[in-house]
């Protein structure tokens, strides 16, 4: 087992991680399959091998969501689905699962195409668009419309959406820092946003419990709650709603931005995708049933998710002494897995930094653990199909109408915090067929 070099006496590797997270993480495989790091007082092992990462995330009995990292993450979500420990996970997963049933996807895809049409309606030929802002509006509006139908309390939905940026900004910093009680502006903004989100979620839930029949994700969640326990639990429901918003909007919006960035940087791929959508869709907007006939579009999206997995750093804690890759880990050890690190290993992906959608069109499948963008095992992303659908709808829907062009300027660098985003991305949109 190796140790990452460059630890400072008190901070350990925290400063290096915050300064240039991707370079730091990318440097670790040179020190072994399991590498020791330290963030302040917190010691952890980073898993640098796909099969070992797979072993970690599919054995949730030994590698659980416990310890200070997850306790701090629960401050954000409440004890919902994503951050909860194994003991309370199963029931919550069963409650959420029906909301993501395949049979509901065509309805969700229709909402996604409607939101895309609304969000792009005002675009002018040749306009420069700030991509991250567009992507976040698109995914948060989609999530809001999918979860809460028109009749729901719009003020409370707006409250949830407004709280998200400060919460998401706070997650990563708070998980690494023990100084969350300090009244800094960032900590105050975080506390305020969390209260706003909890209050808005509580208001929405109360409205739903009092109201009539609806056909949206919230109604499916409440029906599942009745089946599971029969007893309404507002706090648990608020944590589930918060978690779905947190898990669903920032991650997918980062991926929407990356897909747009990669298409703009690779005009050949963009043209191939356009030709595919033209031959399959003609003049229609994409529907869920079309997506299976768009293999190249799917390959572009998957390649973007490989190169830039939004959830790029995730953690577990050992519940008992165990061995991993022949090394003994004591109970209570923090174990980190990184889809970003794994998906850039050359043994799994030759020329790993190259954008090459064709690698997904051949029949060969990777070893277990080689694609971890959505995690794996019992804690695998509940919204993976939802997210893929959203990304394919955006890629196909945009490229049919618009040519995406890079805007000359600063080199685009990823910003890695809780979520991996492109920094300051702006693109020029030329309307196809414009004179």
What is the contact mask toward ligand HEM in residues 217 to 256, using x (rule: CB under 6 A)? --------------------------xx--xx--xx--x-
Alpha-carbon span 270 to 419, nearest angstrom: 25
Kindly state whether residue 381 participates in binding ligand HEM, applying the rule CB under 6 A: yes
Whole-number Å distance between alpha carbons of 375 and 296 = 23
* Shorter beta-carbon distance to ligand HEM: residue 16 or 168: 168
Tokens representing residue 59 in the block: 């054995």
In terms of CB distance, is 55 or 373 closer to ligand HEM? 373
Smallest gap from Cβ 300 to ligand HEM, in A, equals 14
Cβ neighbours of residue 177 under 8 Å, at least 6 residues apart?
14, 40
237-240-243-247 Cα dihedral, nearest 10 degrees: -140
Residue nearer to ligand HEM on the CB measure, 16 or 420? 420
Give the shortest CB-143-to-ligand HEM separation in angstroms: 6
Q: How far is CA 394 from CA 38, 142, 259, 287, 414, in A?
A: 40, 12, 9, 11, 21
User: What's the farthest any 2 CA atoms get from each other in the chain?
Assistant: 68
Interacting residues with ligand HEM between 140 and 159 (CB under 6 A): 143
> Does the protein bind ligand HEM through residue 50 (CB under 6 A)?
no
The token duo for 367 is 């070893």
DSSP state at residue 177: -
Among residues 243 and 286, whose Cβ is nearest to ligand HEM? 243
CA distance linking residue 277 with residue 293, whole number of Å: 9
Say whether residue 164 binds ligand HEM (CB under 6 A): no
Residue of 28, 44, 45, 57 that binds ligand HEM (CB under 6 A): 57
Shortest distance in whole angstroms from residue 125 CB to ligand HEM: 30
What is the smallest separation between the CB atom of 140 and ligand HEM, expressed in angstroms? Answer: 11
Nearer to ligand HEM, 17 or 147 (CB): 147
**Residues 60-99: x/- map of binding to ligand HEM (CB under 6 A)?**
---------------------xx----------x--x---
DSSP 8-state assignment for residue 30: G
Q: Residue 251 Cβ, how far from ligand HEM at the closest point, in Å?
A: 4
**With contact defined as beta carbons under 8 Å apart, do 214 and 132 qualify?**
no
Question: Does residue 261 interact with ligand HEM by CB under 6 A?
Answer: no
Q: Kindly indicate which of the ranges 118-126, 186-194, 361-369, 370-378 contains the residues binding ligand HEM, using the contact rule CB under 6 A.
A: 370-378
Tell me which residue has its CB nearest to ligand HEM: 383
Q: Which is nearer to ligand HEM, 16 or 389 (CB)?
A: 389
What beta strand segments (E) does 15-143 contain? 34-39, 42-47, 63-64, 127-130
In this structure, is the dihedral angle defined by the CA atoms of residues 174, 179, 180 and 186, taken in order, positive or negative?
negative
Tell me which residues in 294-333 interact with ligand HEM (CB under 6 A).
Answer: 309-311, 314
CA distance 33 to 28: 9
C-alpha–C-alpha distance, residues 393 and 255, integer Å: 13
Q: Is 79 exposed, middle or buried (0-12, 13-18, 19+ CB in 10 A)?
A: middle
Q: Is 9 helix (H, G, I), strand (E, B) or coil?
A: coil
Site residue total, ligand HEM (CB under 6 A): 26
Q: Quick check: 374 binds ligand HEM (CB under 6 A)? A: yes
Give the footprint of ligand HEM on this chain (CB under 6 A).
57, 81-82, 93, 96, 143, 243-244, 247-248, 251-252, 255, 309-311, 314, 373-375, 379, 381-383, 386-387
């Amino acid at each position: 087992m190796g140790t990452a070099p460059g630890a400072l006496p008190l901070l350990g590797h925290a400063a290096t991680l915050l300064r240039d997270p991707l370079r730091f993480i990318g440097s670790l495989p040179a020190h072994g399959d399991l590498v020791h790091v330290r963030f302040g007082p917190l010691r952890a092992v980073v898993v640098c091998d796909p099969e070992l990462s797979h072993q970690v995330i599919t054995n949730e009995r030994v590698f659980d969501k416990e310890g200070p990292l997850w306790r701090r993450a629960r401050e954000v979500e409440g004890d919902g689905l994503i951050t909860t420990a194994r003991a309370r996970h199963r029931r919550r997963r069963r409650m959420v699962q029906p909301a993501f049933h395949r049979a509901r996807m065509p309805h969700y895809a229709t909402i996604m195409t409607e939101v895309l049409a609304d969000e792009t309606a005002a675009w002018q030929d040749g306009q420069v668009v700030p991509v991250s802002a567009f992507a976040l509006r698109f995914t948060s509006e989609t999530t809001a419309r999918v979860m809460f139908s028109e009749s729901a309390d719009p003020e409370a939905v707006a409250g949830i959406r407004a709280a998200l940026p400060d919460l998401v900004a706070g997650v990563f910093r708070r998980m690494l820092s023990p100084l969350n009680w300090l009244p800094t502006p960032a900590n105050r903004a975080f506390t305020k946003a969390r209260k706003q989100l909890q209050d808005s979620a509580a208001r929405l839930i109360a409205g739903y419990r009092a109201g009539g029949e609806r056909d949206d994700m919230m109604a499916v969640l409440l029906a599942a709650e009745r089946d599971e326990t029969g007893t309404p639990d507002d706090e648990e429901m608020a944590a589930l709603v918060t978690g779905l918003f947190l898990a669903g909007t920032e991650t997918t919006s980062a991926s929407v931005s990356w897909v747009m960035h990669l298409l703009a940087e690779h005009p050949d791929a963009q043209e191939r995708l356009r030709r595919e959508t033209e031959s399959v869709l003609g003049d229609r907007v994409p529907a869920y049933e079309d997506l299976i006939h768009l293999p190249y579009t799917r390959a572009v999206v998957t390649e973007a998710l490989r190169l830039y997995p939004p959830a790029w750093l995730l953690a577990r804690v050992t519940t008992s002494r165990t061995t991993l890759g022949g090394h003994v880990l004591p109970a209570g050890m923090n174990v980190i897995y990184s889809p970003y690190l794994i998906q850039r290993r050359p043994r799994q992906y030759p020329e790993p930094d190259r954008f090459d959608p064709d690698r997904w069109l051949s029949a060969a499948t990777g070893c277990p653990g080689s694609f971890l963008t959505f995690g794996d095992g019992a804690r695998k992303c509940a919204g993976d199909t939802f997210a893929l659908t959203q990304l394919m709808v955006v890629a196909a829907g945009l490229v049919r109408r618009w040519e995406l062009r890079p805007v000359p300027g600063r080199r685009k660098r990823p910003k890695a915090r809780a979520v991996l985003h492109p920094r300051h991305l702006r693109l020029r949109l030329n309307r196809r067929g414009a004179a």
